[in-house]
Structure 1
């Protein structure tokens, strides 16, 4: 298929950008016209950032799965839609053509329907990286049910929190998942979560690891048995539910600056248009290219650039079940070689980790098929950028350094591969349709080149979040209350003389660990649940592999016993409550925390100490007990 909205030169980029600012409704209306709509919209855009209220393609009727699947059947039915590489390289891989994927989605949509799922119901999906995860996501969308995928590393408590917030009455999971040399017992984690969630009506369980599981009569059913039942019915069709452009498509939970995760809601029409537009342009996707995004579908990157955008574009998307270092550190490169991958989209954390294994693993693979490399999740440091460029791209593949967030739906700032210039360490220019601005602490726009400030966007784009589930006020206060008529990203940024942007990281209390956002309050709440902990404060610090590590300052009861064991106990508590990804890298025991007289913890000081800037912690005269700072400095963990 061709993409009328694909930008092919820098002149086209400049013209598209100018039009997107001068005539945004005409610009986005033209982009949206490339998709299949059952009924065209009456109005492209209605918005205000005060309430906030954002509506795109009002009156438009569609189903996103007809754009992902049905419309490709006639011309590309036999083309691979999904290639699945299993955790164990010795196991058989799978290829699903567009027709096969369509048939499986229709079949599983009927399974969901037979189990009571209907339009508007929330379905929680907690699975490993198997094709059935994508099938479940698309089956929900076909019925108009709202899916909420939870990353397979989250704990039972984290799942229960999300189930309760979404009031999700249906769950799709598997007995377990393979991840490297580990078996993750997904169903037993779900069982632990459901102790607190008696409203759940049905749990559909896929067989993957053959781990023994508990199956509760009347609640739990096997995926395979339910599919067989649909087959006995003669595999009936499941027409796609007609949706309004502004109907919710999915909820994805992301960490906030309070302990409670917030459910970001994306809608059918705008999300579809924006993710596909950004995919085709940033990666300069051409029909026939093999696209390998190494993210997990449990995160927004997997939603947008493994499932929805590639399938809407008629692309071939590669799903990988394992991890980059198992059974050895050459796994990514062998996958590129095996499937002749053209686009590789991964995280700086993975790149930095693989750098540590030297070039031996790289040299065992033929990487000549690669055309575009991409980085996502956090800013990529220059050393990793050059290693990626020299050794993986062989200095012939553009690297797209993409900046965006769960709330954004798709990439907002990035070079377009081979079209606009790359600059190591910089996300570079905004996509046409995105209007970034830098703001100071007083709400004034910072103009001109070579300046830094808080990154905001002053005009809506179709892929942006519409609300936080069940709590619209939380969306307003998080993103629209800091600056008038602006979407506040929560990130800081620099802008150079050419208009390029370099993201400098979070300016709020959210950490970015291995490209995943984790709220400091969430981690502190988990640490404070450990029996001996009085209180804690958590900050980020530079970590050579993860980008940002978690440094915890913990006030503990006087009888430590074995400090090393206590640290492990606290880390294990965090892993149980949130998940292993949130475990602190360093835990320093302190007698007190630096607080103002009103009781506010001065994390700014703790961050400086964690970063090793012991002589530059700033003014401590307003603290209740300034002497505690010297004690914390002396006990700093290297």
Structure 2
């Protein structure tokens, strides 16, 4: 593997501070400090102490000042409303500076927190950048999130203002946001002073006198008065945003991202990992409520001077399984970043790829996947149809950008299906056993990252340093615990097999559910699958597979189940004790596409469980319960 990647990685490892000082040259600074890293600051050290900058200036204003104001910053494509819109950098600057003036008039100052609770519309991006313009801190909550969960986030961060919209649009239905927001405020111990509401034509919201303000009207009035707000200088170590991790119950866990390191890391990643140049179109088919949306719908592409796509739709059903390919052709997308679950949904509905053939994808360079394990069968399917590299990469809400990737902008490395390739500069990745000892290549263990974490990663949890230390740093001193399990092979390639909670212990053997899922997915009838460990009085735990079949499959279900069980037995061996394969219509997932394996496991074991706050469709858990009960009755 001697090559450009190895050279760049070695350069970082030899002189990490010099490496990140060079990378910081891609960002405009109001003040450059003497040090790059302060090892004694806060929980594990801080990047760019004494440096000052502003995120909105770097994402928007500097491109206008450089003469690129007429370049398209945002493409809004909404098949659910039939709307398309292009917004230049100069137009975005005007909208953001005016909205920032509105926020400032309502008392928002540097360091204040603002909750953003909006659908996938340009106004949501304007809101994020307007908050950043003032040096305030935003916390984006996924639009339509439950009132109780929204209330806990408002209280935890002490939000001064909420920016929301009247509704979101899902295929076939309108989701009213305002009643959820109103109920959340009723539940708050410390309710916000003001709510700015963007009224959408699909559903007008009722406004509360003295608290709610029509956002569009307020912006229009500020424009008429020619009111704008300039970018406020903040310390590089000041928080840029708080993002609460999905699936939180009880006290939420707010990941804090700082300002300077965040921009340095994302700007570096856009060129080095994704191979993007200024002016090119980058599309992350996610939502601004998730970390992918923060990093690669909003900040990364705009820092790099690219055009970003805001897509308000679904991979299937808006109107069909070809909508991704339509967007790529129509908007000249060079790189698409999406979740494996989106690709599996497309494959399920269009297994032969008939929709792909309808579009010209000749300008498309690559497809990146993250958010869940990308099973090799889905990757091979996409490679065969798209004729571009399909690149799995691995990162977390906590890191904000890729821990491991195939860096197209440095050197495209050989792809190993099932692996997100190799660690990026900034990350020294090791696999440890439960006693904290390094394991041999190919041995399953706990994946950890040596401290300090690189720029762009979380610095702590909001108002919860002790919780951050306990959750992430204490179990393996000197390392950040990713809570993912996997292996590193002889070539240094990582294989992420499961969350550590998803490793099952069957008669003393530690088995990876991810490894079993890889095998199950090879069956030609299987579109997607999940394997969980369920309680067994004899062996401790035994695996159980849930299969979603491809559209049009006519094979007898009992035959499919038997063949899947035989596949696992052949590939992994009798030690897996894989004897149960259940066919279901769909799998329960979060709105970001992660399969809710933990909840499924509790249902299967008959344990108490709570409805996950981030679930996409609660009815799916009833379907899973019914299938499990039917299987149990069958064996009695």
Structure-2-length-normalised TM-score: 0.80
- Take 1:407 and 1:540, find their aligned partners in 2: how far apart are those partners? 30
Change (3 A) 1:240 1:589: closer
SS at 1:19 equivalent: helix
Query: Per-residue deviation at 1:89?
Result: 6.7
- Take 2:314 and 2:635, find their aligned partners in 1: how far apart are those partners? 30
Query: Per-residue deviation at 1:153?
Result: 3.7
Equivalence for 1:139: 130
**Structure possessing the higher relative contact order (Cα contacts under 8 Å, 6 or more residues apart):** 1
Equivalence for 1:398: 389
Contact 2:75 2:85 in 1 (8 A): yes
SS at 2:27 equivalent: coil
Give me the CA root mean square deviation: 3.2
Equivalence for 1:600: none
Contact 1:385 1:424 in 2 (8 A): yes
- Take 1:540 and 1:493, find their aligned partners in 2: how far apart are those partners? 20
Contact 1:270 1:463 in 2 (8 A): yes
Contact 1:541 1:551 in 2 (8 A): no
1:112 is the counterpart of 2:103? yes
Change (3 A) 1:636 1:251: farther
Change (3 A) 1:556 1:29: closer
Query: Per-residue deviation at 1:257?
Result: 7.6
Equivalence for 1:551: 600
Equivalence for 1:66: 57
1:297 is the counterpart of 2:288? yes
1:439 is the counterpart of 2:432? yes
- Take 2:601 and 2:17, find their aligned partners in 1: how far apart are those partners? 48
Query: Per-residue deviation at 1:361?
Result: 2.2
1:482 is the counterpart of 2:454? no
Change (3 A) 1:130 1:498: same
Contact 2:80 2:170 in 1 (8 A): no
- Take 2:495 and 2:229, find their aligned partners in 1: how far apart are those partners? 47
Correspondence list, 1:125-136, <5 A:
125-136=116-127
Equivalence for 1:38: 30
Change (3 A) 1:554 1:34: closer
Change (3 A) 1:553 1:21: closer
- Take 1:130 and 1:510, find their aligned partners in 2: how far apart are those partners? 39
Equivalence for 2:335: 343
SS at 1:218 equivalent: coil
Change (3 A) 1:380 1:463: same
Of 381, 384, 388, the match for 1:387: 381
Equivalence for 1:585: 621
Equivalence for 2:517: none
What residue ranges of structure 1 are gaps of 5+ in the alignment? 1-8, 512-538, 558-569, 591-608, 611-630
Change (3 A) 1:476 1:580: same
Contact 2:277 2:304 in 1 (8 A): no
Cα deviation 1:356-405 (Å, max 9, x = unaligned) = 1222222222222211111010110011001111112x2xx222211000
Deviates more, 1:161-170 or 1:56-65: 161-170
1:223 is the counterpart of 2:215? yes
Equivalence for 1:425: 418
Query: Per-residue deviation at 1:582?
Result: 6.3
1:373 is the counterpart of 2:367? yes
Cα deviation 1:193-214 (Å, max 9, x = unaligned) = 1111252100000022441322
Change (3 A) 1:582 1:12: farther
1:322 is the counterpart of 2:316? no
1:357 is the counterpart of 2:349? yes
Contact 1:427 1:501 in 2 (8 A): yes
SS at 1:353 equivalent: helix
- Take 1:589 and 1:170, find their aligned partners in 2: how far apart are those partners? 41
What residue ranges of structure 2 are gaps of 5+ in the alignment? 505-542, 549-586
- Take 1:468 and 1:158, find their aligned partners in 2: how far apart are those partners? 17
Of 69, 79, 82, the match for 1:87: 79
SS at 1:173 equivalent: strand
Cα deviation 1:581-629 (Å, max 9, x = unaligned) = 5666367879xxxxxxxxxxxxxxxxxx98xxxxxxxxxxxxxxxxxxx
SS at 1:195 equivalent: helix
SS at 2:208 equivalent: coil
Query: Per-residue deviation at 1:237?
Result: 3.5
- Take 2:423 and 2:362, find their aligned partners in 1: how far apart are those partners? 30
SS at 2:48 equivalent: strand
SS at 1:498 equivalent: coil
Contact 1:434 1:461 in 2 (8 A): yes
Contact 1:310 1:317 in 2 (8 A): yes
Contact 2:144 2:180 in 1 (8 A): no
Contact 2:406 2:422 in 1 (8 A): yes
Contact 1:183 1:209 in 2 (8 A): no
Of 558, 574, 592, the match for 2:611: 574
- Take 1:292 and 1:273, find their aligned partners in 2: how far apart are those partners? 20
Structure-1-length-normalised TM-score: 0.80
SS at 2:398 equivalent: helix
Correspondence list, 1:143-162, <5 A:
143-162=134-153
Change (3 A) 1:427 1:582: farther
Equivalence for 1:602: none
SS at 2:162 equivalent: strand
Change (3 A) 1:10 1:377: farther
Contact 2:73 2:306 in 1 (8 A): yes
Cα deviation 1:492-547 (Å, max 9, x = unaligned) = 11111110001012113899xxxxxxxxxxxxxxxxxxxxxxxxxxx996665667
1:456 is the counterpart of 2:448? yes
Contact 1:48 1:485 in 2 (8 A): no
SS at 2:220 equivalent: helix
Equivalent pairs, count? 548
1:503 is the counterpart of 2:496? yes
SS at 2:262 equivalent: helix
Of 175, 194, 199, the match for 1:202: 194
- Take 1:376 and 1:423, find their aligned partners in 2: how far apart are those partners? 15
Change (3 A) 1:297 1:364: same
Change (3 A) 1:636 1:351: farther
Contact 1:155 1:579 in 2 (8 A): no
- Take 1:271 and 1:103, find their aligned partners in 2: how far apart are those partners? 24
Contact 1:372 1:398 in 2 (8 A): yes
Correspondence list, 1:306-317, <5 A:
306-317=297-308
Equivalence for 1:603: none
Contact 1:340 1:369 in 2 (8 A): yes
Contact 1:152 1:298 in 2 (8 A): yes
Correspondence list, 1:623-638, <5 A:
634=632
1:247 is the counterpart of 2:238? yes
Change (3 A) 1:542 1:457: farther
- Take 2:401 and 2:126, find their aligned partners in 1: how far apart are those partners? 21
SS at 1:287 equivalent: coil
